[in-house]
Chain A
Amino acid sequence: MAPPSPEPLVPGAAVPDAGVASLYQEIILSHYRAPLHRGPLVGATVSVEQQNPLCGDTLTLQVRRDGDFIADAAFTARACSITQATASMLLRRVIGHSVQDARAVVADVEDLLEQSSPAGVRGAHLGDLRALGSVARFPARKACVRLVTSALLEALATPR
């Protein structure tokens, strides 16, 4: 299976700038208003529930594995825009890809949050997820992204 590369919903929207508008870019707001891959997922092989104990937000992430590939995935959440948009963008990016590729995507998202690697160098394959680079400026909100990435890693760690 060779899935197509993801296309950004709004091309070029990932350029961080100052202020709250950079966090709430249209690309993030669009994913929040109309999230992709909202669950529940029929035929899920693994289901992971994560909570952010600091704020009480909850996220359930379900994955249907097909060997080393993520055949399908979905999420349900009672959570903020950053968490919901992250889930929408991340699942869109990893569905149809290998577990190994998904882990690499999560690692690159983490780099974006820590700004340890310029988005332009390794971020090209991230698509919409590049918008999360703006979260680096809002340390209190990194946990909102990590709620999703840690749920995905946990789901992928579960033996299929």
Chain B
Amino acid sequence: MTPLAPRHDFPLLALDPALHYLDSAATAQKPQAVLDALEHYYTHDNANPHRGAYALSARATERYHDARATIARFIGATDADCTLFVRGTTEAMNLVAYGWGETNLAAGDAIVVTAMDHHASFVTFQQLARRVGCEFRIVELTPDGCIDLDSLRAQLTGRVKLVAFPHVSNALGTINPVEEIVAMAHAAGAIVVCDGAQAVPHLAVDVEALGVDFYAFSGHKIGGPMGIGVLWGRRARLGEMSPWQFGGDMIEVVGDQTTTFNSLPHRFEAGTPNAADAIGLAAACDYLTALGMERVRAHEVRLTATMLEALQAMDGIRIFGPLDPAARSGVVSFAFEDVHAHDLATILDEHGVCVRAGHHCAQPLMRRLGVPATARASVWVHSTTDDVAALVAAVQHARTLFSDGAALA
């Protein structure tokens, strides 16, 4: 099987032909185009945006501005000023909690999250609830790892003001019915915060069509640099937010005792912007746009089907999340009774297969699954059936090793 994107597009993979990188859900490898964009910016355009009156600074400002427009377009946002740069999904969630939550929530209100929320969302809103003294409710999951819509309905009573859930589960791969959940939450009078970290790299995302109020993702998971991400918000919601971090760039007029604040998006981007990484992220969006997100999805569905079929054939394996490849992303989490996920990952590493082993920043989910940890393999545009075959062979080796010592010889 040929990959959707040639391996040589990714310098790290090109340098290590024997590496089977199946941990794209943790962080994606970087296309050469992204590295080139970073180098080009620092070599030709670097100055502090929004500051200097000289041509170089104006160019840096323009490149930064263009990057925002490209990224907004990539996620279907028509209003680029509502696309705020943050460090990543975690900071985006914290910006919502501090900027929107503390201003709009009070004792007696309720926040609803799901049992599959990543800690970036789960802990952030749990702690927000504790600070403002509101209720923190958790929507349970169905046995096959989907959000239980009956449980959601049951939680949407009283003064629910905020509902948070992932577009795609990082630990289960489940693709959630965003529009349906949004309709239910809005009918109950709540705003919706959607964690798109595991969706934007893999699916065509249109934040406006989804109907959410806030949508967050991390640049490094779509092939962009680490340390840049996006919080998109509806203009009306952003208007309800108080600035969270203060400093340069976010101000309008600073008086001795009071300050007025800048317009969107700068109001929420205090300090010198991370222009280089924004430009790198825009290059990642361009790279994926050129591949075509529909083709990315089709490629991953085929690979996921292959992986699920091969793993399901193994004795004693437990695969988490829905088994229909059309209902999940290219993330497959699994566990064995007799081989701990860490031991599995160590043995897989010896075979050149990189997978994540652990709780995937989802301890509430692990408790519900009844396991301390799972092994998680995840595919992306450069993945092939060779990678999946290497995974399966390595898992078989691990099982032999743990089931009988003779295999050591």
Question: Are A and B co-members of a single complex?
Answer: yes
- Count, chain B residues at interface, CB 8 A: 18
Chain B positions 318-356 with a Cβ under 8 Å from a chain A Cβ: 340-343, 346-347, 350
- The answer to the question of A45 belonging to the interface, with a C-beta cut-off of 8 Å to chain B, is no
- The answer to the question of A29 belonging to the interface, with a C-beta cut-off of 8 Å to chain B, is yes
The minimal Cβ–Cβ distance linking B352 to chain A, given in whole angstroms, is 12
Given the known interface contacts A29-B402, A79-B340, the answer about A55 and B346 at a Cβ–Cβ threshold of 8 Å is: no
Contact at B408–A141, with CB atoms within 8 Å?
Answer: no
Contact at B340–A81, with CB atoms within 8 Å?
Answer: yes
Contact at B343–A56, with CB atoms within 8 Å?
Answer: no
- Residue from the list B350, B357, B358, B359 in contact with A20, Cβ < 8 A: B350
- Chain B interface, >50% SS class: helix
The minimal Cβ–Cβ distance linking B337 to chain A, given in whole angstroms, is 12
The residues of B that contact A26 with a CB separation of less than 8 Å are 405, 408
- The answer to the question of A82 belonging to the interface, with a C-beta cut-off of 8 Å to chain B, is yes
25 contacts between A and B (CB under 8 A): A20-B350, A21-B408, A24-B402, A29-B402, A29-B405, A55-B341, A55-B357, A55-B358, A55-B372, A55-B373, A56-B366, A56-B372, A58-B372, A78-B372, A79-B340, A79-B372, A80-B341, A80-B343, A81-B340, A81-B402, A82-B342, A138-B346, A140-B346, A141-B346, A144-B342
The residues of A that contact B405 with a CB separation of less than 8 Å are 26, 29-30
Contact at B346–A56, with CB atoms within 8 Å?
Answer: no
Given the known interface contacts A56-B358, A57-B373, the answer about A19 and B408 at a Cβ–Cβ threshold of 8 Å is: no
* Cα A141 to Cα B346 with chains together (Å): 8
In this complex, the member of B341, B358, B372 whose beta carbon has the largest number of chain A beta carbons within 10 angstroms is: B372
Contact with B along A43-61 (1 / 0, CB 8 A): 0000000000011111000
Q: A-B pairs with the 5 shortest C-beta distances?
A: A56-B359, A80-B340, A20-B350, A80-B342, A55-B358
- The answer to the question of B210 belonging to the interface, with a C-beta cut-off of 8 Å to chain A, is no
Contact with A along B390-409 (1 / 0, CB 8 A): 00000000000110010010
Contact with A along B66-93 (1 / 0, CB 8 A): 0000000000000000000000000000
* Closest chain B residue, CB of each to CB of A27: B405
The residues of B that contact A25 with a CB separation of less than 8 Å are 408
Contact at B372–A81, with CB atoms within 8 Å?
Answer: no
* Cα A69 to Cα B373 with chains together (Å): 36
- The answer to the question of A23 belonging to the interface, with a C-beta cut-off of 8 Å to chain B, is yes
Contact at B402–A56, with CB atoms within 8 Å?
Answer: no
* Cα A58 to Cα B366 with chains together (Å): 13
The minimal Cβ–Cβ distance linking B300 to chain A, given in whole angstroms, is 27
The minimal Cβ–Cβ distance linking B63 to chain A, given in whole angstroms, is 38
The residues of B that contact A80 with a CB separation of less than 8 Å are 340-343
Chain A positions 80-134 with a Cβ under 8 Å from a chain B Cβ: 80-82
Contact at B343–A82, with CB atoms within 8 Å?
Answer: yes
- Residue from the list A19, A29, A30, A141 in contact with B342, Cβ < 8 A: A141
The minimal Cβ–Cβ distance linking A59 to chain B, given in whole angstroms, is 11
* Cα A57 to Cα B340 with chains together (Å): 10
The minimal Cβ–Cβ distance linking A33 to chain B, given in whole angstroms, is 8
Contact at A56–B401, with CB atoms within 8 Å?
Answer: no
Contact at B346–A20, with CB atoms within 8 Å?
Answer: yes
* Cα A29 to Cα B405 with chains together (Å): 8
- The answer to the question of B363 belonging to the interface, with a C-beta cut-off of 8 Å to chain A, is yes
The minimal Cβ–Cβ distance linking A75 to chain B, given in whole angstroms, is 15
Given the known interface contacts A29-B402, A80-B342, the answer about A24 and B373 at a Cβ–Cβ threshold of 8 Å is: no
The minimal Cβ–Cβ distance linking A138 to chain B, given in whole angstroms, is 6
The minimal Cβ–Cβ distance linking A144 to chain B, given in whole angstroms, is 7
The residues of B that contact A21 with a CB separation of less than 8 Å are 408
The minimal Cβ–Cβ distance linking B375 to chain A, given in whole angstroms, is 11
The residues of B that contact A20 with a CB separation of less than 8 Å are 346-347, 350, 401
* Cα A56 to Cα B341 with chains together (Å): 11
* Cα A25 to Cα B346 with chains together (Å): 14
* Cα A57 to Cα B366 with chains together (Å): 11
Contact with B along A1-22 (1 / 0, CB 8 A): 0000000000000000001110
The residues of A that contact B358 with a CB separation of less than 8 Å are 54-56
The minimal Cβ–Cβ distance linking B383 to chain A, given in whole angstroms, is 23
The residues of A that contact B363 with a CB separation of less than 8 Å are 56
* Cα A23 to Cα B359 with chains together (Å): 23
The residues of B that contact A79 with a CB separation of less than 8 Å are 340, 372
Contact at B340–A24, with CB atoms within 8 Å?
Answer: no
With A29-B408, A56-B366, A141-B346 already in contact, 16 other A-B pairs whose C-beta atoms are closer than 8 Å: A23-B346, A24-B347, A24-B401, A25-B408, A29-B401, A55-B357, A55-B358, A55-B373, A56-B359, A57-B373, A58-B372, A79-B340, A80-B343, A81-B340, A138-B346, A144-B342
